Amino acid sequence: MEEKKWYSIDTDELCRDLGTSAGSGLDITEAAGRLSEYGPNVLQEKPPRGILSIFAGQLKEILVLILIVAAVISAFLGEWEDAIVILIIVVLNAVIGVFQENKAENALKALKDMTKPSAKVVRGARAIQISAEEVVPGDLIMLDAGDSVPADARLVEAASLQSNESALTGESVPVEKNPSVIYSDQLPVGDRKNMLFMGTTITSGRGRAIVVETGMNTQLGQIARLLDDSVPETTPLQQRLGRLGKVLGIAAVAIVVLVFLIGLTRGEDLLEMFMVAISLAVAAVPEGLPAVVTIVLALGVTRMSRRRAIIRKLTAVETLGTATVICSDKTGTLTKNEMTVTRVYAAGNFFEVSGAGYEPEGKFTEQNGNEVSALDDKNLALLLYGGLLNCDARLEETEKGYRVLGDPTEGALVVAAAKAGLKREEAGAKSPRLNEIPFDSERKMMTTFHNVDGLTKSFTKGAPDVILGRCTAVFSQEGSVTISEDTRKSLLEVNTRLASEGQRVLALAFRGWSGMPESLTPETVEKDLTFIGFFAIQDPPRPEAKEAVALCRRAGIRTVMITGDHRETAAAIARELDILQPGDESLTGEQLEQMDDDELRDAVNGVAVYARVSPEHKLRIVEALKHHGHVVAMTGDGVNDAPALKRADIGAAMGISGTEVAKEASDMVLQDDNFATIVRAVEEGRTIYNNIRGSVQYLLSCNTGEIAAIFTALLLGLGSPLNPIQILWLNLVTDGPPALALGLEPPQKGIMDMPPRKPQESLFAGGVGARILWQGIMIGLLSLTAYWLALRWDRTLEEAHTMTFITMAMSQIVHSFNVRSIEHSLFTIGLGTNRSLIFAFIISASALLIVVFVPFLRGVFETVLLRPSDWAVVLGLSVIPLVLVEVSKMVLRAGTTAEK
């Protein structure tokens, strides 16, 4: 089908073709119908693997194929019972593998669903936010700087709009957009200036557009048809475990060959030794470990989401546990982001503004305490009116009270104006906005043009020092007068005074025009301004932030504040939160500009606060910190924060105030924009890593125990203490449930009192490798003791095998409680704090005992009912691992205390 040339038709024809309105968008009912007709606005992906496909994949594993070959050989030699049991175990193992893999895929899918992008649309003349998947042809979408374009759309309105289309065209320079019709038969994508495309991002300005294509019909969808799906992401830990699996596989082959040869030299039966060797090979390799790790990672990510941290990349889970520095924005992250104008300054007078939050109730009082009518003071009235016109935020009353839609700082100005009786809707109708130059973090200003009483005026608000630098006059009681250097200096001192009290200060200026200027650029518009006054806005620290900063310090993590606010404002908040302590320094963006990279590297370890910085400075700060080997977490919300978020080891985007560009560049999204959420995520990251290490320790120590027992028995000429079927059943019932349950261990007490682990630290660091070895040998020797005692007491071979089988299995299951913590006693942690492990214990113990007590299964597994005295020995030996490991932990704690 020939592609429709949407760029070459005017807005009226576009709306007729798509059955929509450029003002009110689609009707809600119509939009729902179109979603059913066109389907969700997503790029098609390869369908998920079905249960049968996953099951077949389990049967293709090399160790499983070896078992199937062993079953075939057994059947060929007439050992039908062994062959059937082996095949049953193979099927059960595959079923467990299917369950684990399916659970992992579902958890990862849930993770993907958490990070779906959103879109702002107009439906039924009302602006709403929806999932980008629900966008349909005909939708009227609203776009601001930092938004991702959800679908291919035709512009109908634009103000200084630019789009980054490098994802489609490869052109890195942003493209200027305008809604004018382009009359052309054939036009390359890069030249369609009145079109926006799915997958691109808005770098500046704002606009409205009507969606023309969604999903696979978009330009990005056409490219997607030509591409294969990418390989699923694997974390460094998963890669290391993959390499470990290969090493263990090679080691298992060597051990199997050795065991087989020793058995033959000792005169053991050829077929019996072949089956024992094959079974031991299967038991030696923890083939369920990759699935366990994936599930633990994915479920950990789900737990983080409940704590308001959405992880976009699994690699971030590992990295969180190694973070040494958290660079955090101030506004809304360390503070509550409930902006309130507490004081205003106009024409040399200070006015206190009462009332907190977004409730439009409050009074204006002079310094002498006299209440004033704000609109009766022409200077104060102009300040409030101009600030209101220059805002995009809206105040809305809901059932739960008032809320601000838009930027909280602008919301504070809207609420302050409302306290004086000025309403945004009425002001907008009386003095409509004619044009604008949107806010830019580089300029630190925003300018809007309005028709005020028949005259064209522009209002510019922004950083006080920047605004005052552009002013040539000041509005006073006598009207507009030329600003002197003394006046400029005194105004800067007022700004410094307010900022030193922890206030965020905004300045407002205006300029009169004979008409709209021809060149609408910051260079031509934002100069020769007349200063009106200051807004002093207070944003109190979050109550939980101070505690989170203290927790970071205990955990060996530095907290660094980075803000665009005035130095004194930032320092006041930082001191209140204990971020800025005696001996710490603060730097401004201006000082950063004067430093080269080497100078910044020398200074960075002593700086706790960066003030008046631009997003571009963040990248330099990250680079300087990483130069010293720090693992850096960086927060951000704007378009220009994206490079720093990408370069940081952990990029954390704001979920409320963050742009789609920032979210796409990040590793995690803070749903509540809260600093404490980052700290909770670090705690969770440490917990997940510890849990995975516990699972690895458990599996490898159990496998070491099985190898040690069989190898030593054969070496001593005692024969194999376990038959092949018992070895396979052991591997089935003791590996899966406990290992997975250990991955769900809750955070341990004191986990944030330890320093961050090193990023390249091995899983076997900190004595884990030694513990695996000695604990595995311990389990093996205890099982071998049961076997030796049975032979010495003239028990039958079946009784000896049964005693060894139960001792081995029960000691392994009991041992799972040991690895819950490296140093803390089980009785300190609490037996019931991990209910999943208790359930796993019950499942594994039941699966063990069923083959001993069910008569039919006793014949299959060659087990027998034990005498009471033998049960006493078996159970006694099985709890020894718990006793010995508890003693070793006590010695470890005593040694650690002595060192301190």
Annotated catalytic residues are 329
Closest CA to 87 of 76, 73, 71: 71
Q: Is 619 helix (H, G, I), strand (E, B) or coil?
A: helix
Provide φ and ψ at 835, rounded to 5°: -65, -30
| Residue for token pair 């009425």 | 426
What are the DSSP calls for 55-84, one per residue? HHHHHTSHHHHHHHHHHHHHHHTT-HHHHH
Q: Which of left, alpha, beta for 326 (phi over 0: left; psi -120 to 50: alpha)?
A: beta
Candidates 168, 499, 128, 575; CA nearest to 343 is 499
Q: 307: Cβ–Cβ under 8 A, 6 or more apart, which residues? A: 677, 680, 681, 684
Q: Centre a 10 Å sphere on the Cβ of residue 610 and count the other Cβ atoms it contains.
A: 27
Residue 767: other Cβ atoms inside 10 A = 11
Residue 739 to residue 813: CA distance in whole angstroms: 10
Environment class of 547 (CB within 10 Å of its CB; exposed 0-12, middle 13-18, buried 19+): middle
Report how far residue 413's alpha carbon sits from residue 436's, in angstroms, rounded to the nearest whole number.
Answer: 18
Cα distances (angstroms) measured from residue 511 to each of 225, 457, 630, 769: 53, 6, 48, 72
Cα gap 561→755, rounded to integer Å: 21
- Phi first, then psi, for residue 803 (nearest 5°) are -60, -40
All residues at 6 or more sequence positions from 836 whose CB lies less than 8 Å from its CB, including other chains: 740, 741, 744
Measure the CA–CA gap between 195 and 190, rounded to whole angstroms. Answer: 9
What does DSSP say about strands 558-562 and 325-329: parallel, antiparallel, or unpaired?
parallel
Task: Give the separation between CA 1 and CA 872, rounded to whole angstroms.
Answer: 80
Amino acid at 336: K
End-to-end CA distance of the chain: 76
Q: How many CA atoms lie within 13 A of 215 on its CB side?
A: 16
Which amino acid appears at position 177 of this protein? K
